[in-house]
Structures are given as C-alpha cells and as structure tokens.
Amino acid sequence: MRDVLVTGGAGFLGSWVTRQLLDEGCAVRVLAAPGEPRVNLEGLDVEVVEGDVRDREAVTRAVEGRDTVMHLAAIYRDFAPDPWAMYDVNLKGTFYVLEAARRAGVERVVYTASVVSIGRPEPGRAADEDAPYECWDLDFPYSRSKLFSRELAEYFADWGLDVRVVCPSIVMGPGDVRPTPSGQLIVKSFTPGLPAVHFPGGAAYVDVRDAARVHVLAATRGRPGERYIATAVNLTNEELVDVIARVAGTGKPKVGLPRPVARAVAAGMDTVARRTDTEPLLSREFFEYSQRPSFYRNDKARRELGATFRPIEETIRDAIADFEARGLITR
C-alpha cells in the first residue's frame, strides 16, 4: 500500500485516516466534496482533488494511479426529513467509487460501513460482525442507507474486487468540525439551563483515532470480503451522561425520562425540527433505534488486526478540549 485515495478525507473520520496513512509513508490523494471545509487537512502533505462521489468522471480521475482506495465519503445524519440526498450519496456514490476502483485494477478497497448496517443484539448481549440486520420496523434512513451500501460493497467482493469493510460504532473525539450527531451529544451537554437528561437504551462508542487505525489495519492485515467492527465500549444512555458529566465537570442535575415520556419528547422535537428546518436535540429515529441497546464486540478487530482502543474518558476529554478551542462550548 503506497498510493492511496481517501474519499471523504477532509471529514471527521476521513481526516484521521489520512493522517495515519501519511504516518505509514503513503502518498495520499483526498477526494473532497465541492465547498467542503478543509480545516482538518491544513498542514498535511496531501493532494486534494475536488469532486462529488456521484460524478462518475470525477471519481474515475481520482482513482487513477492509486493502489488502494479508502471509501469514507457519506452523509451521516440521524435526522433526515428528506433522505433522498443521503441515499443518493451513500448508495450511488459507493457504486461509482467501487466500479471505478474495479475498472482501474485497484489492489484493495476499504469501505466504511457502520454498526447500524448490521443487526442489534438481543437484550443483554453484544453483537459481532455477523449479526443479521433486523430493524425493518424503523424508518431510520442513515441505518438503511449504510446497510444497502455495505451489501453493495460486499457484492463487489463477490465479483472479485478486494474489499474489506469496517463498521465503526458511534465515533467521538477531536476534529469533529461540523459537529456530527455524535459530537453534538457532547456539545449539547454544555447547553445552559438544561439538565443532563437520559432515557432507556444504550449504544457502542469508539475514539475517532482508533476507528481510523482500524481502517489502516484492515488495509494491511485484513482479509478480502471480511467485516471488522471498530468499537471500544458499550454504554447505556445513563452511563454516557455520567461519563460526560464526570470528565467535563458540568455539575448538572441528572434527570431520567421514562420511555413513554422520552418518546413523547422526541416526537415533539421532531415536529418542531421539521417545521423550523433545524436539527432536533434528540431525533425520533435515533431515539427509537437506541431503545434496544446497540452493543457490539471488537474481538475480531483485536484478534485479526491487532487493534487497540483507548478509554472513553480520554476520548471525551480530548473532544471537549477541541470543541472549547474552536468556541463551540464554554464551561
């Protein structure tokens, strides 16, 4: 692995993948969407080409001369009243990148899926890479779009393209410029006048730097056609609130909402968000998805790739410091 294309390389996770590839001595080309902020690439010795992953010609040019493609470009939102753009980018974009890689004779592709593209475990258990997708009763566009695009990537593997799939859990840490929905969990915990609210359910979390490392390891040590979960810790929603409060020292009172009350609050926020075209504090889709604790195991990534994962406290501490430095939160 020497000449690498990173789609979405200017983004949160993509920029950390780019940094780690540079540390490995790779020559990195980044495909950045038109108008996408480039702050995460400042000071890095990379070739930046502008183009949309839905633009076949732009993708073909970007892939040219690369031996490895890291495909991270995607729309990541837990609130999507109009999901068409998400499906368009996450599905059509993935097809164009993979087909361009196949035609160009690229040696390997690492595709970024998500744990929301595989199934949630039974209560009290943690799922592995083979958990079958089961949340067909929920209209959660991000989850569905990542499921379909992961399956597309794996069909290309069946076709003979060397594709390895990484499924990160909820990614947190420094460099979350937008911030993403996961970063908003931290930012919103500093909102004045609001208590630290939690509700039933839970999820898995990983540091962005460790998730990036799994991508690099998947390229160098992974097996064609295999999935690797990148996750560090499973936390109930109450445990996450406790960790953020402990690390941040916010001293806020903690309020637990019963499930019916939390569901009504999420529905109300959803209604207001749709009317005002703003992001809700809690999206109804994510609320419903997380009611069944979405816990996952990292055994395979540790065993086959040699991946390691830092404590969630370090992740949240570094994320808070980064948000403070950029003026997104004040204590």
CA distance 262 to 245: 20
Domain of 68: which CATH number? 3.40.50.720
Do the domain assignments include residue 289? no
Do the domain assignments include residue 329? no
Domain count, the chain: 1
Asked if residue 192 has a cis previous peptide bond (ω within 30° of 0), the answer is no
Whole-prediction pTM: 0.94
- Which structure tokens are listed for 216? 């690099």
CA distance 326 to 95: 36
Q: Where are the beta strands (DSSP E) in 12-84?
A: 27-32, 47-50, 68-71
CA distance 54 to 32: 12
Residues of the chain with pLDDT under 50: none
Do the domain assignments include residue 44? yes
Do the domain assignments include residue 256? no
Do the domain assignments include residue 181? no
Please report the pLDDT score of residue 247 as a whole number.
93
Cβ–Cβ < 8 Å for 176, 208: yes
Q: Could you write out the DSSP letters of every residue in 182-197?
A: HHHHHHGGG-TT--EE
Do the domain assignments include residue 165? yes
List the domain range (segments joined by +) for residue 29.
3-175+204-232+294-310
CA distance 153 to 162: 10
Please report the pLDDT score of residue 123 as a whole number.
85
Angle at 147 between CA 319 and CA 279, to 5 degrees: 45
- Run of H or E including 4: strand 3-7
Do the domain assignments include residue 323? no
- Residue 174 identity: P
Convert the pLDDT of each residue in 123-161 to its tens digit. 889 999 999 999 998 889 999 999 999 999 999 999 999
- Which structure tokens are listed for 63? 């892939």
Please report the pLDDT score of residue 244 as a whole number.
92
CA distance 72 to 75: 10
Identify which of 41, 319, 277, 8 has the alpha carbon closest to the alpha carbon of residue 184.
319
Cβ–Cβ < 8 Å for 73, 92: no
Do the domain assignments include residue 94? yes
